[in-house]
Structure 1
Amino acid sequence: MTLRTYYPEIEPYASGHLEVGNGHQVYWERVGTPGAKPAVFLHGGPGGGLSPNQRRVFDPARYDVLLFDQRGCGKSQPFAELEHNTTWDLVADIERLREMVGADQWLVFGGSWGSSLALAYAQKHPERVTELVLRGIFTLRRWELLWYYQHGASLLFPDKWQRFIAPIPPAERGDMIAAYRRRLTSADRDIRLGAAREWARWEGETITLLPDPQVSDAFYGEEYALAFARIENHYFVHAGWMDEGQLIRDAGKLRDIPGVIVQGRYDIACPPQTAWDLHQAWPEAEFIMVEGQGHALSQPGILNHLIEATDRFAGGGM
């Protein structure tokens, strides 16, 4: 069987910045066919920003897709800003963008942190969501954060973990997220940048089943790492400004929304237990465990199922 892969490269037919308050300007772009089925793409991180391949998971003839850099990252301004940058600020931004494009409802697509934001948005505004397509499920529960940043993933990548903990004195390693927070918010740019590099490298090198420079190299740039690490750590320190387990607890609000959950069996960043827990709480959604795959959107089996889902929903249903 031939796996589905990205649609051809495509450039936005429109782009710009939207003022969303408190000095933030969110960069947005639109691809596909104006007036076709509306969709919004929610990138990962938090702080990951957009990349050109993210435009290519939708049939451009059948979709009108809005993509945007979430607050503080990519082309949004101010750069790497933490003030007025919370989950609920982003949920409000999604609504502002929906109103800007004039869509009454739209398909919501998100992976990794984008799945968290998609769930938060859909649970707050279920009437605005026609379908949910989710990958690499992440819900910011405490154990999920500890698994990746304290003890768990460290056992599978001991060599990479050693690099991750190296900037942190042994006395501070009992809470790696807090220790990195102190450095990522330092007044000294060199300290901020050094911490950002190692934070970003850890994720970039552990999200594919096998090493993939095409994925990991994107995490090494100084500006990318600074926004990514600062914003991601900021969200994790605050547990996404949500109750513990809130996104799983409130999954019943999604009952009437057609959905697809795509999860790599060997996803180290976002272990399959979370996707399974979401599936148990939202059994109406289709659940696809993809064998032999890790976390990244670009993993061939994962990408295949995501594009199958967007193609199917372009026809108006399951």
Structure 2
Amino acid sequence: MTELYPPIDPYNEGKLPVSDLHTIHYEQSGNPDGKPVIFLHGGPGGGITPMYRQYFNPQKWRIIIFDQRGAGQSTPYAELRENTTWDLVSDIEKLREHLEIEQWVVFGGSWGSTLALAYSQTHPERCQGLILRGIFMLRQKELHWFYQEGASNIFPDAWQEYLKPIPVEERDNLISAYYKRLTSSDRNIRLEAARAWSIWEASTSKLIPSAKSIKRFGEAEFAEAFARIECHYFINKGFFATENQLLENAHKMSHIPGVIVQGRYDVVCPMISAWELHQKWQKAKFIVVGDAGHSISELGIRDALIEATDNW
């Protein structure tokens, strides 16, 4: 097994105003003269954790990680206004310019893979390569599978808890019903919905569910931003012009080298999406981890990602 690199502290942290409303928090760690890599966290709304630095050899990489709008230490917290995919793509460019980086490797999993694809198709000239995990393209079939019917058949026990905040008469459109509650003026209503939404994802993310992950996702401070921002993006269909935009525009980044790491038993982002992307992006190395689900911390996925960053 490939171990994570030892924990390290950032050598630089900062705040970057990206609009009149939003300021993003970013950090840099590793080697200031190393190969630049931008880490795009999941969710949207998930925020960053120190563990993300440990997927990169700190002697080799200049590791740049930031909290996307409304998440983590970025402000304002859990804010939905001026928070779209294209705002985030613009923020990545502003951060690149602020740090005076010409090109970088883009690393992202789950929603981070969605954002990485949107960024690389908008600014392909800035991408030296892509390292992606758990491909998610925010299409209706993907959303329906996880939030309406599909994954529910594999995790009926966890699904029962996910349904609890929603009255039976509103369950024909669960994303819409959750959005109504996650945007309520009543904080108690928001938090009940946020915890149920977030715990559902934590309960299904790993091949072997993790009580530690479920507890973290259920904490109010994390859950509110995570659930609100996710649901905001999903009810707005990712702010894409067409449902298949990322596949339709794959030719714009098909020349960029990359790696796709996908858990065979990923219930959150089933493997078909990664497979369909790979058909359009043959330059990418396609790695299927046979004993893993969705999470970046599962051993097989961890090994494949560290091998990808080591061999870049």
TM-score in terms of structure 2 length: 0.99
8 Å Cα contact 1:26-1:75 kept in structure 2:
yes
Which SS does the other structure have where 1:21 is aligned?
coil
Of 188, 191, 198 in structure 2, the residue corresponding to residue 190 of structure 1 is: 188
- How big is each residue's C-alpha offset from its partner over 1:271-306, in whole Å with a ceiling of 9 and x where there is no partner? 000000000111111001110100000010011011
Of 133, 136, 155 in structure 1, the residue corresponding to residue 134 of structure 2 is: 136
Cα distance in 2, alignment partners of residues 211 and 169 from structure 1: 27
8 Å Cα contact 2:18-2:91 kept in structure 1:
yes
Of 217, 224, 227 in structure 1, the residue corresponding to residue 225 of structure 2 is: 227
**What is the CA-CA distance between 1:215 and the residue it aligns to?**
2.6
Q: 2:45 maps to which residue?
A: 47
Q: 1:101 maps to which residue?
A: 99
Q: 2:59 maps to which residue?
A: 61
5+ residue gaps, structure 1, are 314-318
2:245 paired with 1:246: yes
Q: 2:261 maps to which residue?
A: 262
8 Å Cα contact 1:262-1:305 kept in structure 2:
yes
2:247 paired with 1:277: no
Q: Which amino acid aligns with 2:136?
A: F
Cα distance in 1, alignment partners of residues 291 and 297 from structure 2: 13
Over the aligned positions, Cα root-mean-square deviation in angstroms equals 0.7
Q: 2:77 maps to which residue?
A: 79
Of 193, 198, 201 in structure 1, the residue corresponding to residue 199 of structure 2 is: 201
Q: 1:145 maps to which residue?
A: 143
4+ runs of 1 displaced by more than 6 Å?
Answer: none
5+ residue gaps, structure 2, are none
8 Å Cα contact 1:22-1:84 kept in structure 2:
no
Which SS does the other structure have where 2:102 is aligned?
coil
2:170 paired with 1:167: no
Cα distance in 2, alignment partners of residues 301 and 246 from structure 1: 30
Which SS does the other structure have where 2:131 is aligned?
strand
8 Å Cα contact 2:254-2:280 kept in structure 1:
no
8 Å Cα contact 2:40-2:116 kept in structure 1:
yes
Cα distance in 2, alignment partners of residues 39 and 63 from structure 1: 7
Q: 1:157 maps to which residue?
A: 155
Percent sequence identity over aligned pairs = 55
- How big is each residue's C-alpha offset from its partner over 1:1-23, in whole Å with a ceiling of 9 and x where there is no partner? xx212110011000011000031
Q: 1:316 maps to which residue?
A: none
Q: 1:288 maps to which residue?
A: 287
Q: Which amino acid aligns with 2:270?
A: P
**What is the CA-CA distance between 1:53 and the residue it aligns to?**
0.6
The range that moved more, 35-44 or 210-219, is 210-219
Cα distance in 1, alignment partners of residues 103 and 159 from structure 2: 43
State the aligned residue count. Answer: 311
Q: 1:22 maps to which residue?
A: 20
**What is the CA-CA distance between 1:183 and the residue it aligns to?**
0.2
**What is the CA-CA distance between 1:35 and the residue it aligns to?**
1.7
**What is the CA-CA distance between 1:213 and the residue it aligns to?**
2.4
Cα distance in 2, alignment partners of residues 92 and 10 from structure 1: 28
TM-score in terms of structure 1 length: 0.97
